[in-house]
Structure 1
Amino acid sequence: MYLYEWLAFDGREKVDYQKLVEETEKQKTKGGKIPPITVQHSVSNSVFDNESLYEHNPTYIDVRTPNDEKRGLITLIVGGGGSILVWGCLLALYLVSRTLLGLDPHQEESLPWDFYLFSVTAVGIAGVSFFLYFRYVFPYLRLEAFTARRLIVRFNRITRRVYLLRPKHLGGVVALDWDKAEVCLDPNMTEAQGIGGFVLLGWEKESHGVFDAAGQPKDDFEITFVGKPTRGASELLAFWEYIRRYMEYGPDAAPRPLRLISKFPWPWNSFKVAWRLDTGSLGKPVLWFFVLINLLLLPVILIHGVFHWVSLLLCYEPRFPKAIEQAGELRDGKN
C-alpha cells in the first residue's frame, strides 16, 4: 500500500541531491518543463473534495493518500508464506524436542545417531529461515501490515503548515511550510491525462520549508502524494483548488463534504474495494459489463477482500503528536 512513499523515502536516502538540482535546472533551461505551480496560483474555477477527506473543521483538513485501497496482496503472499514458514519451523522444532525429551510414547529406548544429525540440521534450517524471512522479506510485509493503518496529510490553515503523519520507516512525522510548497500539476493537461492522477507536493531543500515534528528546521527536501486517484483532469485540478482555497480563504471557500471517510475498518468496505465497481458507472450501460466481469472473478474478489480486511486489522490507527493536534487551536478563536 505504501509503495510510492517507500520508494520515495528509500530513493531520497540514496539520491545525490546536488546532482538532482543540476539536472532539474538543465531541464528548465530547455524550455520543455512546466514551471512548478505555487499555492497562490488558481488552476480551476470549481472545487471538488474528491471523497478524500477524513476531517474538515475551521482549523484543518485531514486528507488521504492515493494508495489506501491497494492492500491485501502483500498480506496474502508475504504474510501467508511467512505464516506457513513459521508454522513449519515450529512444528519441526516441537517434534524434535518432543522426541529428544522422551515425551513421545512410541519412542524407542535408544535413538540412532542419524536422528541427532537430523535434529541439528532441522534446528539450523529453522533458525536460518527465521533470520532470512525477518531480515529480507518482513520489511515488504510492513508496506501494508504491522504498520500505520493509513498515512494522513493535514493542511492547517491557522499555522499555515502541512503535516505528514507517517511511520518512521517512511520518513516519520514532519511539518512543512504551506507557502513554500510547489505543486506538480499541469493546468493545461487533457482530461485523459488526469485519469488515475493525484496531487504531488514538493519542498526543495533551498526553500527551508521542512521541519521536524517539534518544529525544528531540517536541511532536507520532502515530497508527498495527496488524494484519491481521480477520474479525469477536471477532477484533479478541482481537487487541488479545493485544498488551495481552504488554506488561502478558509472553510467557506471549500465546503465540508457531505460524507467524510470513516477510519473504522469495517469489513464491507474491504469487500467494496475488492469489488472495484466505479460508482460513476451507475445508470450507464457499461455497468453491466463491470458486474459481469466481477461475478466471473468472484472467488478472487472474496480472497482479496478477506486479506484486505486482515491487513487493516494487523495495523494500528496512527495519531499526530499532541503538539500538532493542538496547533492553531488557541489562535483559531481570533479568526
Structure 2
Amino acid sequence: MYFLERGFEWSKKQLSYEEATEEYKARIRQQGQAELHTPADVREPVSNNPSNNCSLYEHNDFYIDLRTPSDEKRGLITFFFLILGGMLAWAGMATIWFAVSDFMATDRGTSWEFYIFGLTFAPLTANIALYFFLKFSIKFFRLESLTARRIIVRFNRITRKVYLLRPKHLGGIRIMDWDKTEILIDKKMSELEGTGGFVILVWDKGDGVDLQGTPTDNIEVTFIGKPTRNASELLAFWEYIRRYMEDGPAAAPAPKKLICKFPWPWLSLKAAWGLDTSFFRQSELRVFVLLNLLLWPVILIHATGHWLSLLLCYEPRFPKVIEEAGR
C-alpha cells in the first residue's frame, strides 16, 4: 500500500525541482510519438460515457471524495510481521518463563551451566532476535499499518480546489488549484493500455498550498481511482470527475452505492479475492474462477492480513477548515 505515493515522495527528496520537472516531461513521452495525447486542460472532454468506476467515498452538492489505486495491495506484510514477531515474542517470554520455573523448583541444581545458558544466554538470544527483527522490519510494517487507513482525494466544485489528505510522510495535506491541474492520461490509448490504469494528476510548483498557506515548492502528484479494465473505463472515469467539477452534480450523479469505510472483514475478503463477476458470464474466462479457487488458502491469508492492517490503522479526516470550505 502507498507504494506509488511513497516512491514519488522518495524521488522528490532525491531530485531538485528542475530535475523533477525534466523527469516528468520525459515520462509523458513514449517511443514512436513526440508525447502523450493528454487533455489540453480540465475543460476538455475525453469520453461520452462518464463512469464513477466504483471509486467514490462521498458524493454531494459540494464535493466528491475518491479512493487511490493501491487500497487492495495491503495485508501480506502485516500478516507475516505479526506471525514472525509473535513467534519471536513468544520464544523470548517462554525462555524466561522456563528458566525462572526451573530456578524456583526445589529439586533444581544450581550449576554454572544453568546460570549461563538457562538464565542468561537463551533468554538474551531470543530477545535480541526480537529486537533486531522489530528494528529492521517496522519500517515495512508501517507501509500498511500504524498509519492512515487510506488516502482521500477531494474535489470541491464550489472552491474549485483539489484537497489531498495524506499522512505527513507521504506529503501531508495539500490544497491544489483545479484549473491548474495537468492530467497524465493518453486520450488515444489502446484498450489494452488502459488495463490496470488509473488517473494521474500533476501540479507544478506553486499551483497549491499546504494547510498553513505556504505555496508548494515542488511538483505534486496524486493517483486516483480503482484500477480499470480498459482504456474506455479509464477515460470515462476522468470524464466523470471533470463533469462533476465543470458542469455540476447533475452531470455526474451519485453512484447507487458508495465505498464503505468501516473495516468489515468480508470487505477485506472481497478485496483480497478481487474476482470480477463478469467471469461467471463468459465461458472463456471461467478458468480464472478455477485458478482463484485453487489459490483460496493464499487469498484467506491475504484477506486476514488486509483486515488486521485496517484495524491497526486510523481513519483519516480532513481538518475543519477543509470540511467547511465552500459551504
TM-score (norm 2): 0.89
Q: Distance in 2 between matches of 1:211 and 1:104?
A: 67
Counterpart for residue 140 of structure 2: 140
Instruction: State the Cα distance separating 1:120 from its structure 2 match.
Output: 4.3
Deviates more, 1:194-203 or 1:141-150: 141-150
Q: Distance in 1 between matches of 2:134 and 2:189?
A: 44
Specify whether residues 90 and 259 from structure 1 end up closer, same or farther in structure 2 by C-alpha distance, changes over 3 A only.
same
Q: Distance in 2 between matches of 1:105 and 1:318?
A: 56
Counterpart for residue 212 of structure 1: 210
Task: For residue 261 of structure 2, give the secondary structure of its aligned residue in structure 1.
Answer: coil
Q: What are the superposed Cα offsets for residues 140-163 of structure 1, whole Å, 9 maximum, x if unpaired?
A: 111222221111111111111111
**Match of 2:34, as an amino acid?**
G
Deviates more, 1:77-86 or 1:162-171: 77-86
Contact 1:79 1:141 in 2 (8 A): no
Q: Distance in 2 between matches of 1:325 and 1:153?
A: 13
1:61 to 59, 64, 68: 64
- Asked if residue 82 in structure 1 is aligned to residue 80 in structure 2, the reply is no
Contact 1:210 1:219 in 2 (8 A): no
Q: Between the two proteins, what is the percent identity of the paired residues?
A: 49
Q: Distance in 2 between matches of 1:27 and 1:146?
A: 33
Alignment of 1:91-240 (within 5 A): 91-96=94-99, 102-108=103-109, 110-112=110-112, 115-116=115-116, 119-122=119-122, 124-126=124-126, 128-205=128-205, 208-240=206-238
Q: What are the superposed Cα offsets for residues 182-220 of structure 1, whole Å, 9 maximum, x if unpaired?
A: 111000001111011000111122xx1131123332322
- Asked if residue 21 in structure 1 is aligned to residue 21 in structure 2, the reply is yes
Contact 1:210 1:221 in 2 (8 A): no
Q: Distance in 1 between matches of 2:309 and 2:141?
A: 10
Specify whether residues 121 and 171 from structure 1 end up closer, same or farther in structure 2 by C-alpha distance, changes over 3 A only.
farther
- Asked if residue 288 in structure 1 is aligned to residue 290 in structure 2, the reply is no
Q: Distance in 2 between matches of 1:133 and 1:264?
A: 31
Counterpart for residue 298 of structure 2: 300
Q: What are the superposed Cα offsets for residues 162-197 of structure 1, whole Å, 9 maximum, x if unpaired?
A: 111122222222211111111110000011110110
Contact 1:210 1:220 in 2 (8 A): no
Q: Distance in 1 between matches of 2:238 and 2:24?
A: 24
Counterpart for residue 44 of structure 1: 47
Deviates more, 1:126-135 or 1:248-257: 126-135
Task: For residue 222 of structure 2, give the secondary structure of its aligned residue in structure 1.
Answer: strand
Q: What are the superposed Cα offsets for residues 259-284 of structure 1, whole Å, 9 maximum, x if unpaired?
A: 11111111112222222220233422
Contact 1:45 1:238 in 2 (8 A): yes
Q: Distance in 1 between matches of 2:168 and 2:67?
A: 18
Task: For residue 140 of structure 2, give the secondary structure of its aligned residue in structure 1.
Answer: helix
Deviates more, 1:155-164 or 1:193-202: 155-164
Q: What are the superposed Cα offsets for residues 106-143 of structure 1, whole Å, 9 maximum, x if unpaired?
A: 532x3416733664444554554344333321111112
Root mean square deviation of aligned Cα: 2.5
How many corresponding residue pairs?
324
In structure 1, stretches of 5+ residues that fail to align are 330-335
Q: Distance in 2 between matches of 1:105 and 1:7?
A: 60
Q: Distance in 2 between matches of 1:210 and 1:146?
A: 28
Contact 2:75 2:302 in 1 (8 A): yes
Instruction: State the Cα distance separating 1:20 from its structure 2 match.
Output: 3.2
**Match of 2:59, as an amino acid?**
H
Specify whether residues 16 and 269 from structure 1 end up closer, same or farther in structure 2 by C-alpha distance, changes over 3 A only.
same
Instruction: State the Cα distance separating 1:51 from its structure 2 match.
Output: 0.3
Task: For residue 140 of structure 1, give the secondary structure of its aligned residue in structure 2.
Answer: helix
Stretches of 4+ moved more than 6 A in 1?
26-31
In structure 2, stretches of 5+ residues that fail to align are none
Contact 2:69 2:223 in 1 (8 A): yes
